[in-house]
C-alpha cells in the first residue's frame, strides 16, 4: 500500500533531525523531471516545520548519449550543474542540499561538498525510504566497520561459487554510508548502509564468480547463470559463462572505454533493514536498487570510475554468500557479518 503524505513527512522529519537540520538553516531541494513529487513535497514540509528556509532548484535532466534505459546510475561522472555557475552558487549557499535528481562522482557535486554544504540523496520510492529509515545505530555500525577497514593493508574475498579475489588497500579513502548527513561537507544516500573503498591501483587480481541470486546494477536483475570474471592488474580481462555473461560483456563493450573494465570500489553491506528480495518486487523504473547495495552481509563488487579514471560506465554488483577478509580478519563469513567481538585475527583460509 502507498505511504500517506503525513507518514512520509514524518520520515523526513526523522532523517532531517538526524542530519542536524536546525532553525534558520538554508535548504535547497534539487529537482528535475525524474524527481518523485511525493519526496519533494514531504522533504519541503519537514524542513519548513523544523524552521529551515527552503527553496527548490529545477535543473535539466541528466541525460547522456551512453544512456541505455531510464536508470540514472547508468552514466555517472557528469551532470547539468557542472558548468552552471548559477546552480553551483545556489547550492554552495545552502547548508543542506536534498538531491532528488541523482548526482554521482561529478565535478559540480565535489565543488559543492568542498564548500561545506552537506548533501543528502533520496531517489528511491517513498515506501522504501520509510522501511529503511536510518538510525544512530546504523551510523555506529557503519563507522565501526569503516575504522576496521581503514586499518587494513590487504583484502581477500572468497566464495564457494569460485570467487578468490585479492587486492591491496590504503591509497584511497573509505566511503561510509549510513543514510543521513550530520557533518559539514558530508554526502550520503538514504536508504543506505555499507562501507567501500577503491583498491590500490592495479592491485586487484584473481577471479570473481557471479552466482545465481547475485544482483547486477543498473540492470536490476538477479543473475540466473554463473558469470566468471578473470581479473589481472586491476581490470577484468576475461568474461565467460552463458547468456548472462554474454549480456554483461556486450553492455560493457557499448561504452567503448577500456576503463569500463577496471575494478572500482569494494566493500560490504551493513543495513539489516534492507532486503535482498526487494528488487524482485518493484518495477524496474521505480527503483535504483539501493537496498541491493546495502543488504546485510553482501560483498559489494563494482567496476568503472575511481582514482584517475573518469569512465561513464559503472556497475555495482552485490554478491551473496561471500567471505570478506581485511588482513586475514573476517568481516563477513559466507554472507554473515561478523561483529567486532567475534572476529578472529588471522582467520583467512589458505
The domain of 182 spans 136-342
> Is 349 a member of any domain?
no
- pLDDT tens digit sequence for 182-235: 999 999 999 999 999 999 999 999 999 999 999 999 999 999 999 999 999 999
Residue 341 has pLDDT above 60, yes or no: no
**What number is the average pLDDT over the span 125-137?**
96
Q: What is the mean pLDDT of the chain?
A: 93
Contact 179, 192 (CB under 8 A): yes
Ranking 99-103, 176-180, 229-233, 321-325 by mean pLDDT, the lowest is 99-103
Number of domains the chain contains: 2
For residues 115 and 150, membership in a common domain is answered with no
Of 266, 246, 296, 303, nearest to 165 by C-alpha is: 266
For residues 335 and 238, membership in a common domain is answered with yes
Q: Do you find a cis peptide bond into 218, omega within 30 degrees of 0?
A: yes
**What number is the average pLDDT over the span 48-70?**
82
- pLDDT tens digit sequence for 271-305: 999 999 999 998 888 899 999 999 999 999 999 99
Confidence band (pLDDT; 50, 70, 90) for 94? very high
Last residue of a domain, which of 82, 102, 123?
123
**What number is the average pLDDT over the span 109-137?**
96
> Is 130 a member of any domain?
no
Confidence band (pLDDT; 50, 70, 90) for 239? very high
pTM for the predicted model, two decimal places: 0.93
For residues 167 and 301, membership in a common domain is answered with yes
DSSP 277-308: TGGGGS-GGG---HHHHHBTT-EEEEES-BTT
> Residue 154: its pLDDT value, please?
98
For residues 161 and 301, membership in a common domain is answered with yes
For residues 183 and 270, membership in a common domain is answered with yes
- Angle subtended by helix axes 5-18 and 37-49, to nearest 10: 60
Residue 67 has pLDDT above 60, yes or no: no
Last residue of a domain, which of 123, 146, 169?
123
> Is 348 a member of any domain?
no
> Residue 65: its pLDDT value, please?
56
For residues 192 and 237, membership in a common domain is answered with yes
For residues 280 and 302, membership in a common domain is answered with yes
Ranking 14-28, 33-47, 65-79, 293-307 by mean pLDDT, the lowest is 65-79
Contact 277, 221 (CB under 8 A): no
Q: What are phi and psi of 121, to 5 degrees?
A: -90, 130
Please tell me the distance from the alpha carbon of residue 119 to that of residue 19, in angstroms, as a whole number: 10
For residues 155 and 282, membership in a common domain is answered with yes
Amino acid at each position: 500500500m502507498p505511504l500517506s503524505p503525513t507518514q512520509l513527512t514524518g520520515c523526513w522529519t526523522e532523517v532531517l533531525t538526524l542530519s542536524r537540520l536546525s532553525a534558520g538553516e538554508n535548504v535547497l531541494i534539487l529537482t528535475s523531471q525524474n524527481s518523485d513529487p511525493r519526496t519533494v513535497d514531504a522533504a519541503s514540509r519537514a524542513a519548513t516545520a523544523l524552521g529551515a528556509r527552503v527553496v527548490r532548484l529545477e535543473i535539466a535532466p541528466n541525460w547522456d548519449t551512453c544512456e541505455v534505459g531510464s536508470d540514472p546510475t547508468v552514466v555517472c561522472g557528469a551532470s547539468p550543474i557542472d558548468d552552471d555557475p548559477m546552480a553551483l552558487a545556489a547550492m554552495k549557499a545552502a547548508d543542506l542540499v536534498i538531491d532528488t535528481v541523482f548526482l554521482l562522482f561529478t565535478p559540480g557535486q565535489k565543488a559543492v561538498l568542498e564548500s561545506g554544504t552537506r548533501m543528502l540523496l533520496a531517489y528511491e520510492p517513498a515506501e522504501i525510504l520509510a522501511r529503511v529509515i536510518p538510525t544512530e545505530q546504523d551510523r555506529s555500525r557503519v563507522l565501526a566497520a569503516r575504522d576496521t577497514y581503514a586499518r587494513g593493508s590487504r583484502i581477500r574475498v572468497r566464495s564457494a561459487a569460485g570467487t578468490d579475489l585479492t587486492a591491496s588497500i590504503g591509497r584511497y579513502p573509505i566511503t561510509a554510508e549510513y543514510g543521513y548527513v550530520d557533518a559539514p561537507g558530508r554526502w550520503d544516500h538514504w536508504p543506505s548502509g555499507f562501507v567501500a573503498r577503491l583498491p590500490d591501483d592495479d592491485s586487484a587480481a584473481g577471479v570473481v564468480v557471479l552466482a545465481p541470486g547475485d544482483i547486477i546494477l543498473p540492470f536490476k536483475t538477479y543473475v540466473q547463470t554463473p558469470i566468471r570474471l578473470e581479473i589481472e592488474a586491476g581490470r577484468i580481462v576475461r568474461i565467460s559463462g552463458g547468456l548472462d555473461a554474454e549480456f554483461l560483456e556486450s553492455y560493457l563493450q557499448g561504452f567503448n572505454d577500456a576503463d569500463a573494465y577496471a575494478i572500482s570500489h569494494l566493500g560490504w553491506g551493513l543495513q539489516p533493514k534492507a532486503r535482498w528480495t526487494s528488487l524482485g518486487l518493484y518495477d524496474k523504473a521505480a527503483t535504483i536498487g539501493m537496498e541491493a547495495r546495502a543488504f546485510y552481509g553482501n560483498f559489494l563488487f563494482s567496476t568503472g570510475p575511481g582514482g584517475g579514471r573518469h569512465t561513464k560506465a559503472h556497475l555495482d554488483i552485490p554478491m551473496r554468500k561471500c567471505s570478506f577478509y581485511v588482513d586475514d580478519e573476517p568481516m563477513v563469513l559466507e554472507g554473515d557479518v561478523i561483529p567486532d567481538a567475534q572476529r578472529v585475527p588471522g582467520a583467512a583460509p589458505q
